[in-house]
């Protein structure tokens, strides 16, 4: 009896620590708070992980959770430190897969495959040359593997999540391909996102719907870049509408970090519209792009998200230069 009580007490303590770590993780994701993410790492790594032996179920769950936190940290951190954090995330997921196999625990295995796909995608954004192609191929492969388990009929929410993530990888592949092949990848990414929106509706899952709309806006923007004339402008308008729609869900007050990301994406779309539009109408679109970038920079500059702030600052400088060139006599 005493032994059973000790086991139950240990399990309850592990669950309590894990819940506290998850709270810090979710707060850090939502508000861009690096200290909250670091606290989550400390709780998972130093307190939850040592409580159970290697290759136990609890050990594997903690490794997956640790991979999630390091992945977010790596995505938001520039330079070698960001790459190191992404490597830690990958290592944690691979460790979890030692326990969670497709045969023994397919649902957990699929979730980790989905997580790995995300990390490979972020690593690809930092890489160069042939390594990028390899990482993106690994990302797509991981998502497609997860979809062997995550089906629309059997697990629609998880299926839609992986579809959403797969579309991002396809978009990134499309950016590296010229001509018809690149355009085909963008079209496939659009189709994958539209499929996910069968499950992710604004009424039933507004946050996930907004995530998918955000990604759809980006895909349409890149697709538009491959098309001249009216066809490209139509896609840019659709991209703007998709991004504006997400702001019904993501607000600066409730979700500042996500709101800032959408503002940056919206600035990109408005900039591209302005580049294709002459006269005062074009300048007005470029001015709106400046406003969107300024809004994103206001959030990122105070959140410790150095890589994001650097990206937005570069975007802002480009559109400012373009306005100056257009305005010159």
Q: How many Cβ atoms from other residues are within 10 Å of residue 252's Cβ?
A: 15
Whether 235 and 220 have beta carbons less than 8 Å apart is answered as: yes
Predicted pLDDT of residue 306: 79
The token pair at 239 is 């991209």
Which of 181, 175, 282, 166 is CA-nearest to residue 222? Answer: 175
Which of 305, 238, 240 is CA-nearest to residue 267? Answer: 240
Predicted pLDDT of residue 302: 72
Residue 42's alpha-carbon distances to 24, 55, 97, 134, in angstroms, are 10, 20, 22, 32
pLDDT tens profile 178-224: 999 999 999 999 999 999 999 999 999 999 999 999 999 999 999 99
pLDDT in tens, the chain (329 residues): 555 545 568 999 999 999 999 999 999 998 888 999 999 999 999 999 999 999 999 999 999 999 999 999 999 998 999 999 999 999 999 999 999 999 999 999 999 999 999 999 999 999 999 999 999 999 999 999 999 999 999 999 999 999 999 999 999 999 999 999 999 999 999 999 999 999 999 999 999 999 999 999 999 999 999 999 999 999 999 999 999 999 999 999 999 989 999 999 999 999 999 999 999 999 999 999 999 999 999 999 876 677 889 999 999 999 999 999 998 87
Residue 260's alpha-carbon distances to 68, 219, 243, in angstroms, are 21, 18, 12
CA 327, CA 310: separation in Å to the nearest integer?
Answer: 26
Predicted pLDDT of residue 7: 59
Predicted pLDDT of residue 104: 95
Whether 209 and 170 have beta carbons less than 8 Å apart is answered as: no
Predicted pLDDT of residue 5: 45
CA 33, CA 113: separation in Å to the nearest integer?
Answer: 27
In the chain, where the domains are located: 254-329
Whether 103 and 133 have beta carbons less than 8 Å apart is answered as: no
């Amino acid at each position: 009896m005493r032994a059973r009580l000790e086991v139950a007490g240990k399990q309850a303590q592990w669950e309590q620590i894990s819940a506290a770590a998850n709270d810090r993780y979710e707060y850090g994701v939502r508000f861009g708070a690096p200290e909250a993410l670091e606290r989550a790492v400390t709780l998972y790594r130093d307190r939850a992980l040592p409580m159970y032996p290697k290759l136990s179920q609890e050990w594997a769950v903690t490794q997956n959770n640790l991979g999630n936190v390091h992945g977010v940290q790596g995505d938001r951190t520039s330079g070698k430190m960001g790459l190191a954090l992404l490597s830690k995330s990958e290592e944690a997921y691979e460790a979890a897969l030692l326990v969670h196999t497709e045969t023994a625990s397919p649902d957990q295995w699929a979730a980790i495959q989905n997580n790995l796909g995300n990390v490979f995608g972020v690593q690809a954004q930092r890489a160069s040359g042939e390594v990028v192609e390899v990482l993106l191929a690994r990302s797509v492969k991981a998502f497609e593997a997860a979809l062997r388990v995550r089906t629309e009929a059997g697990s629609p929410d998880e299926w839609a999540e992986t579809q959403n993530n797969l579309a991002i990888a396809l978009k990134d592949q499309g950016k590296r391909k010229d001509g018809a092949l690149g355009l085909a990848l963008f079209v496939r990414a659009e189709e994958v996102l539209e499929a996910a929106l069968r499950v992710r509706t604004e009424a039933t899952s507004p946050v996930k719907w907004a995530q998918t709309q955000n990604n759809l806006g980006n895909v349409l923007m890149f697709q538009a870049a491959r098309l001249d004339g009216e066809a490209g402008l139509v896609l840019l308008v659709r991209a703007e509408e998709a991004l504006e729609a997400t702001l019904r869900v993501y607000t600066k007050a409730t979700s500042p970090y996500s709101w800032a990301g959408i503002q940056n994406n919206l600035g990109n779309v408005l900039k591209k519209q302005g580049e294709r539009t002459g006269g005062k109408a074009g300048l007005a679109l470029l001015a709106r792009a400046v406003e969107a970038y300024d809004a994103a920079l206001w959030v990122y500059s105070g959140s410790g998200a150095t890589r994001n702030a650097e990206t937005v600052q570069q975007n802002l400088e480009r559109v400012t230069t373009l306005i100056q060139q257009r305005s010159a006599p």
